[in-house]
Amino acid sequence: MDQVMALVTNAPSGGAISRRVTITGEPGDILLKPLYTGICGTDRGIIAGKLPFAYNPVGYDFLVLGHESICSVVESDVSGFKAGDLVVPMVRRPGKCLNCAAGRQDNCSDGDKHEAGITGKHGFMREQFRESSRYVVRVGDSSLSRTGVLTEPTKNVMKLFEVFSVISGRSIYPTPDYSFQGKHAWIIGTGSEGFLFSFMAREQGFDTFMTNRHSVDEGRLGIMDQFGINFVDYSRDFDTAVKDIDLLIDTSGDPTTILRFTQRVRQNGIVFLFGTNGRAPDGAMSGVMVDHLVEKNITIAGSVDGAKRHYEQAVSYISKWTHEHPRAMSALITNEEPASSVDPFKRGNSNGIKTIISWK
């Protein structure tokens, strides 16, 4: 393949530069061009040199960044895809374990998979790239050429809620109509994943609360309002406001905060750990907390990544939400930057929700 412009790092040392690269021999029956790529905490961790598990592909002294994208097909050697189609490439490529062989590399049993833009496979932040159509998800709704970039982060949400349905099926939630109406979902953190989890909790019928240790800006409150989500600044109002949690989803990765909210989870409740922050201070679990978990049948579960069907479900929900709440979905994307600049990686995420890079 010819030289293309790309945003690259040197993993795991870090850094980010825009440069021309030549990448040869990548398998693929379909040629893609990104329209937009998204930046998440994983990308920021890699360029800061804080993710020791990131590594360059074999034979390269760099790694093309990016695992969130919405792409357009440039040319296809397979039936079912044609130039101009919108698609989202998946992050993970399978290793050799049984889960990977079954298409469930999201549940890889030995860690021997690769992740685009993270571990040993070049990512999507480049002018064009070849991809195997097996790892490409169709986006049939042409109005998703921008918000479709949220498909990858949303597939994590779809998988977590599938695991939720497995765990919650062990008992009957005490609603007379066997729904989740009147049940309480709490989501810790107000970043993009926190919003996407909250949107899905609303879809399931939960009374939904987003929470952080500080107040949030009008933009965030406006999005919550459109989806019917409540917000609690728990630094001001923990004792009276935080109670009767049936589903707790953490996107902060902070052990002390997770344990504090877990105290407020009631019988048959489920706690999902999703956020990761290896630098967070330790949190100690008390004997009282152990009793609380045991006596109330509370489950704590971790969830990472998602399978192809979760990407497909994510496309359907992004489409639904984009049509029902166009302003809120557009407002989730707070920053759009040109592909020529690596500044957005360095800037952090303090003011914005989701930063995307335009390749158009």
Residues found near ligand BGC in the complex (CB under 6 A)? 40, 42, 67, 91, 115, 118, 152, 156, 304-305
Cβ 59 to ligand DN4 shortest distance, Å: 28
129-159: burial string, b at 16+ Cβ within 10 Å, e else: bbbebebbbbbebeebbbbbbbbbbbbbbbb
Cβ 112 to ligand BGC shortest distance, Å: 14
String marking each residue 32-61 x if it binds Zn ion according to CB under 5 A: --------x-x-------------------
Burial of 290 (0-12, 13-18, 19+ CB in 10 A): exposed
> Which of ligand BGC, ligand DN4, Zn ion, none does 100 bind, CB closer than 5 to 8 A by kind?
Zn ion
Contacts of 23 (CB under 8 A, 6+ apart): 1, 4, 60, 64, 122, 126, 129
Nearer to ligand DN4, 128 or 191 (CB): 191
Query: Contact between 100 and Zn ion (CB under 5 A)?
Result: yes
String marking each residue 155-184 x if it binds ligand DN4 according to CB under 6 A: -x----------------------------
Cβ 26 to ligand DN4 shortest distance, Å: 24
Whether the CB-CB separation of 132 and 74 falls below 8 Å is answered with no
Other CB atoms within a 10 A radius of the CB of residue 172 amount to 9
What are the two backbone dihedrals, phi and then psi, of residue 82, each rounded to the nearest 5 degrees? -140, 160
Cβ 67 to ligand BGC shortest distance, Å: 6
> Which of ligand BGC, ligand DN4, Zn ion, none does 182 bind, CB closer than 5 to 8 A by kind?
none
Query: Contact between 154 and ligand DN4 (CB under 6 A)?
Result: no
The region of 59-67, 70-78, 130-138, 253-261 touching ligand DN4 under the rule CB under 6 A is: 253-261
Residue with tokens 């397979």: 78
Cβ 135 to ligand DN4 shortest distance, Å: 17
Nearer to Zn ion, 124 or 261 (CB): 124
String marking each residue 99-138 x if it binds ligand DN4 according to CB under 6 A: ----------------------------------------
Residues that bind ligand DN4 (CB under 6 A): 40-42, 156, 188-194, 212-213, 251-254, 257, 274-277, 304-305, 349
